[in-house]
Amino acid sequence: MDAHLIVPHTAEAKVSEILALLQLYRNEYQDKGVIPAIRNSFELNLFNTYRCYMDITNHFPVKFTQHTDPAAPL
């Protein structure tokens, strides 16, 4: 029996591409409270991993900012 298990990769990306995504997540989600556009399952998994490693003790609570559509009646 072979002692090694080969797990196929699910995506390919350069380190610089992953860094850019992580910086986007910090700028959009952590700093502005905006959920960034998620284009594929790799980005979804990376975003969820990023959220798991956030320092929630010092980040939350976040001041609520209400966003409204000026054209929509209230």
DSSP string, the chain: --S------S----HHHHHHHHHHHIIIIIIT--PPP--SHHHHHHHHHHHHTS-HHHHPSPPP-----TTS--
Would 6 be classed as within a structural domain?
Answer: no
Which residues form the domain of 40? 15-59
Q: What is the mean pLDDT of residues 20-36?
A: 93
**The total number of structural domains that make up the chain:** 1
Residues 6+ apart with CB under 8 A from 68: 74
Q: What is the mean pLDDT of residues 44-57?
A: 91
Could you tell me how far CA 25 lies from the centroid of its own chain? Answer: 5
Would 5 be classed as within a structural domain?
Answer: no
| pTM over cut 0.75 | no
Would 72 be classed as within a structural domain?
Answer: no
Residue 72 has pLDDT above 70, yes or no: no
Would 37 be classed as within a structural domain?
Answer: yes
Report which of residues 43 and 69 the model is more confident about: 43
Would 70 be classed as within a structural domain?
Answer: no
Residue 70 pLDDT: 79
Would 22 be classed as within a structural domain?
Answer: yes
Report which of residues 61 and 46 the model is more confident about: 46
